[in-house]
Amino acid sequence: MNIKIAGGRVIDPSQSLDQVCDLYISNGLIIAHGDAPEGFVPDSTLDASGQVVCPGLVDLCAHLREPGATHKGSIAQESHAAAAGGITTLVAMPTTSPIVDTPAVAQLIQDKARATGKARVLPMGALTQGLAGEQLSPMHALASSGCIAFTNSRRPIRSSLVLMRCLEYAATHDLLVLFQAQDAELSGGCMHDDTTSTRLGLAGIPEAAETVEVARCLMLVEQTGARAHFGQISCERSARMIMEARERGLNVSADIAIHHLLLSDSNVNGFDSNFHVIPPLRSQLDRAGLRQALLAGGIQAICSDHQPHDPIAKQAPFAATEPGIAGLETLLSLSLMLVEQDVLDLPRLIAMLSCEPARILGIQAGTLNNGAAADICIFNPAARWTPSADKTRSGGANSPFIGTELGGRVTHTLLGGKVVFQL
């Protein structure tokens, strides 16, 4: 099938492309932009006038609740939500039930995602058996079953020896390890440890809960030579440490969840449980420092850190609620705030949502190069819309941005040349 996407502003940071032109697709692949290939006859044409045509987004962190907690969201629901957000590839964390520490579970997730056909789902395997932090998982077998990387999520690996053995094994087989750095003993609170937590009487989580673990992980990465990524960092000092490690030649990268770039601990002032996230929303100084790290190259990607919950999970006193924000559908619109606020220009933002995360994962995605799969996001940067709980496609409507007018909206998402979302 031949598709022509006509008249859009085509932005592809992977090839430094930013121009108004047509894009041509044939049999699920991008075959040209600009002038039509000889003999090309479109079966359908998408009018993208006034809109931005960019690579489908690559989201580095989504907690899918299937298997095990489908009352919070199924793979089908979250895949639909991803498509509505312009996301064509998402990385699923291993924190399902059962945990992704066997090839069978990894395969199950991929089979269900393929059956839905709305987004490419890349499972991440557990770094240790059962995420218990004691024994190495069968990483090689998991990688052979499609696991794109390995993490212990926020479950602790208390023994540095066990962690070093994990990294040694990963380095031997060139496997990517993802850290969600968090010291278990320092992370007993529910929000950032500062004046706001003191005033509200809520137990705080100090910056050291993250930075201490980042330091330990960096030392072991340097010792083993492993390829590592730090996911969803929240502290300015973490970004600086990772940046300094990169300057020393370590093969490390980092991402940040979009809500940590937009919100701070002051938003918790009303005890709204939708602001309960882990890592917690940090200080305004941290937020400013993280924004600066985006510009300085300390952070390479932006993600949703999508965590859908059922309503009951958020209906309790703040500290007793489950942390997390459902963010697949709002990732792009929220990220566009950084352009409105002159933090990033649009091509750089798109890079951090597409080709940069693809580069971290080492996959062929996040590009509109000729021959690449036609995974495409088309959005109207001038559109205004307001997310509502009753219209969300995700299983969870737990977002502090519900009811907030946002700028920029996805109008079409193509996956392998097939329209999987149309507004």
Q: Do the beta carbons of residue 235 and residue 211 sit within 8 Å?
A: yes
Q: Do the beta carbons of residue 303 and residue 178 sit within 8 Å?
A: no
Catalytic residue among 255, 265, 305, 375: 305
Query: What residue type is assigned to position 38 of the chain?
Result: E
305 is catalytic: yes
Catalytic positions, written as ranges: 305
